[in-house]
Amino acid sequence: MSGPQGTQVAGGADFRPRVERLLTDILGLMGFPARLDLQDAADGSLSVALHFESGPPQGVEAGKRSQVLDSLQFLLNKMLHRPGVERRWVMLGAGGHPEPRPRREAAQAQASAPVATVAQVAAAAPAPPARTAPAPAAPPARAARGAQPAAQTPKAAAAQQVAAKGAETDERSVQCEEDAVLREAVRKLAEKSASLGRFYAFAAMKTEDRARVLRAVEGVGGVKVAAEGEGRNRRVVFTPAKPAPMPKRSMLPDDDEDDIDA
């Protein structure tokens, strides 16, 4: 299909087969094959429900957003939306179709709504009553020598708890039971990172699992393993001492390669 100005339309007859083929290939390379359910969304996008055949990847739950699905959705749309092609967004959901995005027309109408200026607001507001000069405040009473400090208010205590939660926990100081299977798999990955010069990372892990990973790689040479990031973006990164470039045959096709449309 072509648009009025000769540009190719992303929602043509071959759009769904391309989405299905690319998703099937990517999920197969990830080791998590899935049954795909495609349907047109109300906002004009293409909604895809991923029903994983042998269980979802780590950190992916049915009906919830995750970093894995967000990254996969970003990669898929980058591969589909080439220059000169009218864009049609693809939304992914685990175990079901994702929630529809807010309509662009409503967002544009809200953005273009008239905004009152400061002068208009000041003119419409009633005149404030006359104020009398406040009485001078009494000087604060000095605390008696040896007196106990005042008890902390609940609001101050809650703010202190929020600040304490914001600080990231040092995983190496977390006490947890050892997982023999996880330890063996992590050490093999660390040795592989050191021998091949590849970067690897574990995302969407609990604090206890990150602590197990950091303890498991102790003693493995040629690679540095550390926890990086904050909050839900915190991950464990494997950095080899001697990085090596990836061979071209193992890289995903670029946006401008012709084999995407083949």
What would the pLDDT profile of 69-109 be if each residue is shown by its tens digit? 889 889 888 888 777 667 788 889 888 888 766 655 555 55
Find where tokens 């401008």 sit: 256
Q: How confident is the model at residue 196 (pLDDT cuts 50, 70, 90)?
A: very high
Closest alpha carbon to 78 in 67, 69, 68, 89: 89
pLDDT digits (tens, 9 = 90+) for 214-246: 999 999 999 999 999 988 889 999 999 999 887
Instruction: Give 227's strand partners.
Output: 236
CA angle 72, 77, 80 (to 5 degrees): 125
CB 7 within 8 A of CB 86: yes
DSSP letter for 202, please.
E
Amino acid (1-letter code) at residue 93: G
- Give the chain's mean pLDDT: 77
Measured CA to CA, the distance from residue 101 to residue 107 in angstroms comes to: 11
Measured CA to CA, the distance from residue 90 to residue 47 in angstroms comes to: 6
Q: How confident is the model at residue 2 (pLDDT cuts 50, 70, 90)?
A: very low
| Residue boundaries of the structural domains of the chain | 8-101, 171-240
pLDDT the model gives residue 245: 85
Which two tokens mark 24? Answer: 């099937």
CA distances to 34, 76, 226 from 56, rounded to whole Å, are 9, 18, 26
Find where tokens 């592989």 sit: 192
Residues 135-143 have a mean pLDDT of: 62
Calculated CA dihedral for residues 252, 258, 259, 260, nearest 10 degrees? 70
Residues 149-166 have a mean pLDDT of: 58
CB 98 within 8 A of CB 112: no
Measured CA to CA, the distance from residue 36 to residue 71 in angstroms comes to: 18
Rounded to the nearest angstrom, the gap between the alpha carbon of residue 206 and the centroid of all alpha carbons in its chain is 15
CB 70 within 8 A of CB 57: no
Q: Which element (helix H / strand E) includes 104?
A: helix 104-111
Q: How confident is the model at residue 39 (pLDDT cuts 50, 70, 90)?
A: confident
pLDDT the model gives residue 106: 55
CB 23 within 8 A of CB 48: yes
pLDDT over 50 (residue 262): no
At residue 39, the 3 state secondary structure works out as: strand
Instruction: Give 46's strand partners.
Output: 40, 90
Among the ranges given (25-34, 35-44, 229-238), the one the predictor scored with the smallest mean pLDDT: 35-44
pLDDT the model gives residue 226: 93
Q: Is domain 171-240 annotated with CATH 3.30.1370.50?
A: yes
pLDDT the model gives residue 54: 86
